Structure 1
Amino acid sequence: MARAFARIAFTPKVRAAQTRMGSRDAYRQLETGADEVVALGPLEIEFIAERDSLYQGTVGESGWPYVQHRGGPPGFLKALDERTIGYADFSGNRQYLSVGNLSADDRVSLFLMDYARQRRLKIWGRARLVDESLEPELIARLESPGYRVRVERGVLIRIEAYDWNCPKYITPRYTQAQVDELLRAHGRQRPATSVTPPIGSGALKLVVTGMRELTARVRAYELRAPDGSDLPPVTAGAHLVVPVELPDGILVTRQYSLTTHPRRRDLYEIAVLREETGRGGSAAIHATWRLGTRLALEHPVNQFPLHDDDRPAVLIAGGIGITPIQAMARELRARGNAFAVHYSGRTAADMAYRDGLASEFPEQLHLYFTRVPGGSRIDLHSLMRSTAADALFYVCGPGQLIEAAKAAARGLAIPAARLQFESFD
């Protein structure tokens, strides 16, 4: 949805602001290529069906915007097809601000929030008010069975664009139903006085204190000491060997790079890409780790270390390989080293941490989209040829990217010591 989103959101004034603040180059690539087919996917349809509220923005004839909260039982907002959503508009305080605004200007913007899992989906569309007397069958489709509240009209929205928003600064909040569900699950699993033993047997004790959906398949986990004390120091490029219990009860380990600033001592963060056809470790983490899950593992290790002098660096990431690269970028900036980040992914929606990186490193970040019409791939040969003679290259991602970087370095007679890599295959 990158191009459709950019076409609506990046007005001339917005682009000018991006230029002033240094983020224009990072976002310019979202505007390239052919228009996409605007269609909700399975992830968006499922997310919409779970919502019990939304925030809706409209614009009045005076030019002033108005934001209204709308709510109902989970599923009150319905996806009627892959490009149309709608809801039954219940009787409220009878000011009819949104109704009046939509009668003059059908453009609408929605924010759908999942506070518990720190996710939000923003939608732009054109709304149409539905009169029950004229379209009773459509109103029936929008009603929620068993929810006895007077329906005044329906609101049908034709989607023009949508985008998953950065989860940064979303404070987790839980409904009473979510709290009750957690308490019931807790009671079924163990007596109230018992404590579930940690997964693993290492000396370092950690607990899951935060979870964020970065993309449809990548979830970030914050890990802290149970007592809130400082964690062992790490260096950029370090990883954790994480214990994972598979569905058959077998305990295995998987390696995950630390994404947090290496100088931060209060928490570690890892990002886990769920591999449906993998060995089962990532799927088990996604399925079983919850807030409060306890781990016992070994201290972090670093087999992908960053140089400790003032030479410049070129950081190259493919897909989930952005995790150690992100930590390296933060460390290089803290030192004052010159650096650039080249981040490649299938589409913008597939790229974990994309929005945060664009905001944090507006001048250093370069994005590449390999599965978008008109997209591009990293030209490793040109990139390496145009870089300072003493620069070091750090590459993390799939084996194909690693081999391409090694071939480009050999072709340019770049010494092997200047190229460091870590494969995520």
Structure 2
Amino acid sequence: METTNKSLMLLIDKRIDEPGGIVRLRLRAPDGAPLPPFTAGAHLDVHVRDGDIDLWRQYSLCSDPACNEFYEIGVLRDPNSRGGSETLHRIAREGETLEIEGPRNHFPLHEEAPQSLLFGGGIGVTPMIAMARRLQVLGKEFTLHYCTRSRSLTAFQSEVEAAGLSDVVVYHYDDDVGTTLDLHAELAGARGESHIYVCGPQGFMDWVISHAQAFGISDDRIHREFFSASVDVSGDVFEVVAEKSGVSVSVSAGDTIAKSLSRAGVKVEVKCEEGVCGTCVADVLEGEIDHRDHFLTEDEKQEGDMMCVCCSRAKGKRLVLDL
């Protein structure tokens, strides 16, 4: 898991409006200096600020990991979001700057795998494009399945062609039955040590993951990255003790640990607020955790010594955190 808190102000060098309400942004250092290197699957934390909007959002890098002259990200305009993507679509203009942190990689590519199957749903294809570029350089066997609503709404087609990936990308369109993804056949043909990667809307990801598990593919070979997720903050009241700070708070139903601690003066850095980015992970010293995030692996959740405090809760009456 590759993580960095490096902060940069980057210039929007190029804005490309893609089909399907997606904008592709090319970011460079204002002085033209090389950017920090990244690995396939990495993302940037982007600070989105305009008026009352002040949010951090995560966007996967779709550019070539071998190139450090610029970064490229894709941003879907989502009217049902909390305003981050709408704002970024509005304010992102060539010549403007954006504050970013990263790159970070919580979705790394396992380069030693003999075969990789990449499944990208809509905007979830962005990290897959970077993975495909890297796998192509390595000469590995792989296929990228790119699922969208319609051919006319499919972004990044010119990018896929320019990168020489046309022969390894298979397009699937919801409105064209002739292109339907036969997930059963694809997984049935996977080799014993194949690795599966999936990113996209939650329903799409659940579909791919459940089928992969049904085929007996072990969890350590099923890799996933959520862009967003619904957050359930219901439950009973419980106590949280921030041991280092000497603070104890009560977390009610509908509230979160992070917000409760913040009101008591214990600052916890939070970015996505949906349990997908891992910024708010805290060590747990005592208590049983009700994990509700999509960031920690199943093994990490079973260990029971860390949690995402932006969304997860306690199974019992008390948690003690190393904060």
TM range (shorter): 0.5 to 0.7
Aligned partners of 2:39 and 2:173: how far apart in 1? 30
Aligned partners of 2:113 and 2:193: how far apart in 1? 10
> Aligned to 1:347, which of 145, 150, 155?
150
1:12-67 CA distances to partner (integer Å, 9 max, x unpaired)? xxxxxxxxxxxxxxxxxxxxxxxxxxxxxxxxxxxxxxxxxxxxxxxxxxxxxxxx
Aligned partners of 1:407 and 1:216: how far apart in 2? 27
Aligned partners of 1:290 and 1:272: how far apart in 2? 13
The residue identity in structure 1 corresponding to 2:63 is T
Q: CA, structure 1 residues 309+202, in 2 after alignment: closer, same or farther (shift >3 Å)?
A: closer
Q: Which residue of 2 aligns with 1:236?
A: 40
The residue matched to 1:371 in structure 2 has which SS? coil
Does residue 337 (structure 1) correspond to residue 107 (structure 2)? The answer is no
Contact 2:11 2:28 in 1 (8 A): yes
> Aligned to 2:216, which of 405, 413, 419?
413
State the 4+ residue runs in structure 1 displaced beyond 6 angstroms.
none
Q: Normalised by the size of structure 1, how large is the TM-score?
A: 0.50
- 1:162-311 maps to which residues of 2 (within 5 A)? 203-248=7-52, 250-311=53-114
Aligned partners of 2:46 and 2:70: how far apart in 1? 15
Q: CA, structure 1 residues 357+214, in 2 after alignment: closer, same or farther (shift >3 Å)?
A: same
The residue identity in structure 2 corresponding to 1:276 is P
Aligned partners of 2:81 and 2:51: how far apart in 1? 14
User: Cα offset for 1:375?
Assistant: 4.5
User: Cα offset for 1:297?
Assistant: 2.5
The residue matched to 1:254 in structure 2 has which SS? strand
Aligned partners of 1:265 and 1:284: how far apart in 2? 27
User: Cα offset for 1:233?
Assistant: 0.5
Contact 1:202 1:296 in 2 (8 A): no
User: Cα offset for 1:388?
Assistant: 1.5
Q: CA RMSD in A?
A: 1.7
Q: Which residue of 2 aligns with 1:382?
A: 185
1:58-81 CA distances to partner (integer Å, 9 max, x unpaired)? xxxxxxxxxxxxxxxxxxxxxxxx
Q: CA, structure 1 residues 286+418, in 2 after alignment: closer, same or farther (shift >3 Å)?
A: same
Aligned partners of 1:413 and 1:310: how far apart in 2? 17
Which has the higher Rg, Structure 1 or Structure 2? 1
Aligned partners of 2:26 and 2:121: how far apart in 1? 22
Does residue 396 (structure 1) correspond to residue 199 (structure 2)? The answer is yes
Whichever structure has more helix as a proportion of its residues is: 1
Does residue 369 (structure 1) correspond to residue 142 (structure 2)? The answer is no
For these two proteins, the number of residue pairs brought into alignment is: 223
1:151-171 CA distances to partner (integer Å, 9 max, x unpaired)? xxxxxxxxxxxxxxxxxxxxx
Aligned partners of 1:230 and 1:257: how far apart in 2? 19
The residue identity in structure 1 corresponding to 2:75 is V
User: Cα offset for 1:311?
Assistant: 1.9
User: Cα offset for 1:262?
Assistant: 0.6
Q: CA, structure 1 residues 216+408, in 2 after alignment: closer, same or farther (shift >3 Å)?
A: closer
Contact 2:44 2:59 in 1 (8 A): yes
Q: CA, structure 1 residues 421+216, in 2 after alignment: closer, same or farther (shift >3 Å)?
A: closer
Aligned partners of 2:113 and 2:6: how far apart in 1? 36
Aligned partners of 2:18 and 2:73: how far apart in 1? 11
User: Cα offset for 1:331?
Assistant: 0.3
User: Cα offset for 1:382?
Assistant: 1.9
5+ residue gaps, structure 1: 1-200
Aligned partners of 2:142 and 2:85: how far apart in 1? 31
Q: Which residue of 1 aligns with 2:289?
A: none
Q: CA, structure 1 residues 399+377, in 2 after alignment: closer, same or farther (shift >3 Å)?
A: farther
Contact 2:195 2:222 in 1 (8 A): yes
User: Cα offset for 1:422?
Assistant: 1.1
The residue matched to 1:261 in structure 2 has which SS? coil
